[in-house]
Amino acid sequence: MDRIETTILANLIYNEKYCRKVLPFVKPEYYQERSERVIFETISSFVIEYGKMITKEILYIELDNRKDLSDSEISEINKLVESISDKSSDYEWLLNTTEKWCRDRAIYLALMESIHIADNEGGNKNRDAIPSILSDALAVSFDNNIGHDYIEDYENRFDFYHRSEEKIPFDLEFFNKITKGGIPNKTLNVALAGTGVGKSLFMCHLASSILLQGKNVLYITLEMSEEKIAERIDANLLNVNIQNLQDLSHNDYESKITRLSKKTQGKLIIKEYPTASAHSGHFKSLLSELSLKKSFKPDIIFVDYLNICASSRFKGTTVNSYTYVKAIAEELRGMAVEHNVAVVTATQTTRSGYGNSDVDLTDTSESFGLPATADFMFALISSDELENLNQIMIKQLKNRYNDPTLYKRFVVGIDRAKMRLYDVEQSAQTNIVDSGQEIEYNQKELPVKKNFEGFKFT
């Protein structure tokens, strides 16, 4: 009776279509028997080096040339090769069965590795790596996508142009305008501000508004305690001055929370980590735990804030701040892509940018690699004049969702007592210098230059 292992080896020799499809996904360690593993390694090495199928005759020669095999092993392996026939199998059945076998073997090996790590026999890997090891094994599949063919895949491209992208909308009009309707999944979004301007206030307000949309929100804090973040969100959602929260009776507080719970089906989880101790690996482990223990999958993740996260790539090594902060940004964005979720975080301005009324990308603290990685980045700017008006200015710094020159600057109202932002009247936007609002036009109406008319050559 044929085993799936030998059936796979046979089709790697005789079925070119199958071989080219599955070879990138099958790993030598999936084979338990050494003889089968050696045959697979030899087939794989030949196909990769020469770009063509191996024959039985070549396989015998290649096996005979191996220096890591004893005479008895070569004899046993040759008998196995001799028993391999060119009997054909149904292609779809074979493909599905091979994929299942690869996944089962990957999961088994991942479980064994996790046990070794749990027993402190994992070498350089610690227990934080276990969820990602198991996740990678569960994700094993034969991906059919090997690139976008510009000509042949035009239908897919056309559908993409007309497909509505899933976004999480803001409750602030101008933010929706500049992002074309909200924050997409798989993105990193960064607020830049000086100390005390309102980074955490902005994120707490946005988290509150998204919870009211019925979405699941995960708020990770490395700066303030879980209770302090919850207090700010209470002030926002319960419409109570943050200084007066402690004056509420238990019955009043309970009734407000009960009314709030009826307004949304979403959940908000707040998780605190010590400053500079947690990185994307910890956050991924948290996501796995929340999924297993609470059946909770966030629609958006807030990280308060990026610069006081750790990097999973640089442990116990001295690197410059540019490299370190850029690595953190890349890891957070990678987590967003891997888990199909939007990530919102914040960063500090430099010392010179703290009192600057025209903050720019160059005012990003510690690393210019952060704005290079972010999908959407904006500055929160405050001044005495704006504070007197209960306003805060927003300036676009980078925008992959829309033209950043449209509504480049605008103001929103701010209620610090209730940790809330709100739309202001349109008249408040009219005198903003370089706002970009006056250039919102239909580009089809612009005159089209032909050739190089108007250009001068020297």
Burial grade of 248 (CB within 10 A; 0-12, 13-18, 19 or more): middle
Between the CA of residue 68 and those of 63, 325, 437, what are the distances in Å? 10, 46, 72
- Assign domain 167-441 to its CATH superfamily: P-loop containing nucleotide triphosphate hydrolases (3.40.50.300)
For 300, counting Cβ atoms within 10 Å of its Cβ (0-12 exposed, 13-18 middle, 19+ buried), the class is buried
Task: Give the CB-side neighbour count of residue 28, counting CA atoms within 13 A.
Answer: 11
Same fold yes or no, 4-138 and 167-441: no
What letter represents residue 293's amino acid? K
Whether residue 264 contacts residue 211, with contact meaning beta carbons closer than 8 Å, is answered with yes
Question: Cα–Cα distance between 284 and 335 in angstroms, integer?
Answer: 7
Location of structure tokens 């910890």:
282
Q: Which CATH code of 3.40.1390.20, 3.20.20.70, 1.10.860.10, 1.10.3720.10 fits the domain covering 4-138?
A: 1.10.860.10
| Interatomic CA distance for residues 442 and 196, integer angstroms | 39
Q: How far is CA 314 from CA 228, 320, 328, 400, in A?
A: 30, 11, 9, 28
Structural domain boundaries in the chain: 4-138, 167-441
Q: Which two tokens stand for residue 16?
A: 């070119």
Q: Which residues contact 416 (CB under 8 A, 6 or more apart)?
A: 198, 201
Q: Cα–Cα distances in Å, from 32 out to 5, 27, 73, 386, 455? A: 9, 11, 15, 69, 69
Of 269, 266, 245, 267, the residue nearest 256 (C-alpha): 245
Helices marked H in 215-366: 226-237, 250-261, 280-294, 321-338, 351-354
pTM recorded for the entire structure: 0.66
Whether 218 and 290 have beta carbons less than 8 Å apart is answered as yes
* The residue type at 119: D
Q: In what order do the strands lie in the sheet with 342-348?
A: 268-272, 217-221, 300-304, 342-348, 188-193, 376-381, 391-399, 409-415, 420-422
From first to last of its 458 residues, the chain has per-residue pLDDT tens of: 468 999 999 999 999 989 988 888 899 999 999 999 999 999 999 999 888 899 989 999 999 888 888 888 888 999 999 988 888 888 889 989 999 999 999 999 999 988 988 887 766 777 777 877 887 787 777 765 567 788 888 888 888 787 777 899 999 999 999 999 999 999 999 999 888 888 999 999 999 999 999 999 999 999 899 999 999 999 999 999 999 999 999 999 999 999 999 999 999 999 999 998 899 989 999 998 999 888 999 999 999 889 899 888 787 556 788 888 888 999 999 999 999 999 999 998 876 555 556 677 776 766 677 888 999 999 999 888 999 999 999 999 999 999 988 889 999 999 999 999 999 998 888 877 566 655 554 444 445 444 544 445 44
The two most distant CA atoms of the chain are separated, in Å, by 89
